[in-house]
Structure 1
Amino acid sequence: MKKTILASAIAAATFSGAALAQESNLPTVYGNIQYALTHDNVDGGSSDIAHNDNGSTIGLKHDHEIAPGVTGFFKIELDGIDADDKSKGRGRIKLDEAYIGVKSDSFGQVWVGSDDSLYESTIDRIVNYYEVAARNIGGSYTTGEGDLIQYMTPSFGGLKLGAAVQINGDGDSQSNGKSYPYQLAAIYSVDALTLAFAMDSNDGDTGYSSGSSETVGDPAVNVKNNENTYGVRVAYAADAFGASLEYQTRKDAYDIVGVQGTYTLGKNVFALSYELAEADGVSGDDKMDTIALQALHNLSDNMYVYVEGNLAGGDDGVYGVADKSEASTVSVGATYYF
């Protein structure tokens, strides 16, 4: 045993020396643990309370200079840790993001792999802002987050153009056969104002990257079709105040509009939003809406706590209970990140 300990110590010392010698080339390790306690209530239906992992992740990222002015980079991030339940921790971790790419001030950025899609990062921002987002309404677009090739130009006087394509082959078990769904985007920023437009061809299936069939809304409604999704976003960001307006439309699916305001006061951040969705030939012309409120407090540079709530309404039956149309959630959570 002593020999083993000594050998381990020598190996550790050797590794430490090598690591120190190459410290500038080491990848950055980052991650977070997120917990949330949520109470969800549907008028005339279920009323549940749960303590959940709210998306804990761990990842590695790195970049280096390939040539003067040209940088290579990679990122890999894992989630599904289920930090709230030890019995679920084994064998459940899954890939969230993994990509490699190159970037330059002269030609922009191109990256390949699994990442948030161009449309999502450009337009669908309100639902992704919130920590729990239990009753928020996401956009109706279906190009998944896997097997993507994405490109973003450098800024031309505040204007950036982007394009993405997903490569679905004949042998991909979760795709609809060979297809090349694509997304296009244009983003113009000047001072505190941002204007953005994006579209998704919807020729693929979110099940290809998420493992679930394509659905939208709450309750989830199957909306499989290849009609294009179009979205626009207008955002304003000052030192303490931010505001944004989003509009998304897709034939035979949903029209969605959302507005949000944020205000920062010291270590506190407050957010309020309203989202409205109207079905277009999915299941009649049902409407649903939700008001979301969040109060977040930064305890330190590495930890924050929050309270978040949703008050949702709409036409009777949209939340799964006949002749009822109200649902609400309240969440209390904490996140430690590094």
Structure 2
Amino acid sequence: MKKTAISLAIAAAVPSSLAYAQDDAQAVQLYGKANVTFQSADEGDGANTDVKSNASRLGVKGELPLDNGLKGIYKMEYEVDVDGEEDVFKQRNIYAGLEGGFGQVIGGKFDTPLKVAQKKVDLFNDLEGDIKSLISRSDNRESNNLQYTTPAFAGVKVSAAYIGHQDEELFDADGEPIGTRSDGTSVSVAYDNEGFYLAYAYDQNVEANDWDVQRMVAQYNLGPVQVGALFEEQEKADGSTQNGWLTSAAYKINQWTIKAQYGQSDIVRNDGETYSLGLDYKLSSAAKLFGFYTDETAADDYDRSYFGIGTELKF
């Protein structure tokens, strides 16, 4: 009898909960992406094959209408390790803030304006040919991040972030302490209009103390063709500078997309050179099959190559 009463109470409560969720359904979105490849990797010790999850993710985002034309906004996103080799969940972009006619203010852990400025020039993002592999070391996602973004004006938008590192201690590749990192800033100015995108971004003390990074990006879409370029300069505390650049192109033919990318850089490794070729087949607006080949070389006999086929599902 008691079990029946409890069951009836739960049944009575569930519809009201569902009704509340339905009332706010337009403001809350559950989303995700599963990107998995079966690939062969030759990193100098012979080729090995494995299944790899490429920044697959699960998240929720939404907005809450407030007074005076304001709205509260939030995003909570986690990387999901589909192949199950590491921790299943890892924090990605997580923030909360306000948005209105004044622009947008958010706080939390999320991509810096310099990272976001790359737009979609990197056609092999999250794969082995990602620019963070050999072209740049400044695609950062930072904690203690407070960012303001202006409204778009004639296609122009400005973002500025203040990143509180709280004298974070830094370590070298061997785990030895090499000092602390003070607060940093990241700023970008971007123009995006009618298929043409142009951006400039600047980081100060984000990667390390007294390190400055500049990034310039251009992308143009004309019908089935997309071309893009990225240039980056990194200046260290000792005044030395390293440069890197990348070009990319994509061409769509019905459900097929042919992709190519080439770059050189001294930022991650001396005399770094990378190229990638890819082919996508669109199954629907939310699913595709793809294949890629990436080759990387650098000084000190650094020579790696990757070949993979995979699938991407979005919801």
TM-score range relative to shorter protein: 0.7 to 0.9
| Residue 182 (structure 2) pairs with residue 179 (structure 1) | yes
Aligned with residue 103 of structure 1, among 80, 96, 99: 99
Give the corresponding residue for 1:39: 40
Question: What are the equivalent positions in structure 2 for 1:253-292 lying under 5 Å apart?
Answer: 254-278=242-266, 286-292=270-276
Indicate how the Cα distance of structure 1 residues 31 and 70 shifts in structure 2: closer, same or farther if over 3 A, else same: same
> C-alpha displacement at 1:34, in angstroms?
2.5
Match of 1:210 in 2: none
Partner of 1:235: 219
Amino acid in structure 2 at the alignment position of 1:292: S
Tell me how far 1:63 sits from its aligned partner.
0.7
| Offset, 1:161 | 1.5
Name 2:22's counterpart in structure 1: 23
Residue in 2 aligned with 1:191? Answer: 194
Contact 1:291/1:311, CA 8 A, preserved across alignment: yes
One-letter code aligned to 1:188: Y
Q: Which of 128, 131, 155 in structure 2 is aligned with 1:133?
A: 128
The question of whether the paired residues in 2 share the 8 Å contact of 1:235 and 1:243 is answered with yes
**Equivalent residue of 2:14, what SS?**
helix
Task: Indicate whether 1:327 and 2:304 are aligned.
Answer: yes
Preserved contact between residue 124 and residue 246 of structure 1 (Cα < 8 Å):
no
Q: Distance in 1 between matches of 2:125 and 2:139?
A: 21
Distance change in 2, residues 1:258/1:72 (3 Å): same
Q: Partner letter of residue 117 of structure 1?
A: T
Q: Which amino acid aligns with 1:119?
A: L
Change (3 A) 1:227 1:84: closer
Are the aligned partners of 2:249 and 2:259 in contact in 1 as well (CA < 8 Å)? yes
Give yes or no for contact 2:135–2:272 (8 Å, CA) kept in 1: no
Distance 1:191 1:144, change over 3 A: closer
Deviation, 1:271, is: 1.6
CA distance in 1, matches of 2:123, 2:5: 50
Letter in 2 for 1:275: G
Q: Secondary structure at the match of 1:156?
A: coil
Q: CA deviation at 1:245?
A: 1.0
CA distance in 1, matches of 2:181, 2:247: 37
Change in Cα spacing, 1:247 to 1:178, as seen in structure 2 (3 Å) is closer
Task: Give the whole-Å Cα distance in 2 for the aligned partners of 1:155 and 1:135.
Answer: 28
Identity of aligned residues (%): 19
Name the counterpart of 2:288: 304
Contact 1:139–1:248 at 8 Å: present in 2 too?
yes
**Letter of the structure 2 residue corresponding to residue 149 of structure 1:** L
Match for 1:335: what amino acid? Answer: E
Task: Check whether the contact 2:181–2:209 (CA below 8 A) recurs between aligned residues.
Answer: no
Q: 1:182 to 1:135 in 2, by over 3 A?
A: closer
Cross-structure match for 2:163: 166
Change (3 A) 1:185 1:10: same
Paired AA for residue 24 in structure 1:
D
- Residue 58 of structure 1 pairs with residue 94 of structure 2: no
Q: Cα 1:129–1:3, aligned 2, differ >3 Å: closer, same or farther? A: farther
- Cα offset, 1:126, TM superposition: 3.9
Larger mean CA deviation between 327-336 and 172-181 belongs to: 172-181
TM-aligned CA deviation for residue 78 of structure 1: 1.4
SS of 2:143 mapped into structure 1: coil
Q: Which moved more, 1:45-54 or 1:268-277?
A: 45-54
Which residue type is aligned with residue 36 of structure 2? Y
Contact 1:245 1:260 in 2 (8 A): yes
Letter in 1 for 2:187: L
1:311 offset after TM fit, Å?
A: 2.2
Q: Tell me, in whole angstroms, the C-alpha distance in 2 between the residues paired with 1:189 and 1:102.
A: 23
Q: Does 266-275 or 109-118 show the bigger shift?
A: 266-275
1:214 aligns to what? none
- Residues 1:7 and 2:6 are matched in the alignment: yes
Distance 1:337 1:188, change over 3 A: closer
Q: What is the deviation of 1:168?
A: 2.0
* Aligned residue type for 1:18: S
Q: Displacement of 1:294 after TM fit?
A: 1.6
Residue 295 of structure 1: aligned partner: 279
Distance, in Å, in 1 between the alignment partners of 2:253 and 2:57 is: 28
Equivalences, count:
300
Measure how far apart 1:173 and its partner are. Answer: 6.5
Other-structure match for 1:73: 73
Report 1:150-165 matches (<5 A). 150-165=147-162
Aligned to 2:30, what secondary structure does the other structure show? strand
> C-alpha distance in 1, partners of 2:46/2:154?
52
What's the C-alpha RMSD, in Å, of the aligned pairs? 2.8
Do the aligned partners of 2:135 and 2:245 also contact (CA within 8 Å) in 1?
no
Using structure 2 for the length normalisation, give the TM-score. 0.84
SS in 1 for 2:137: coil
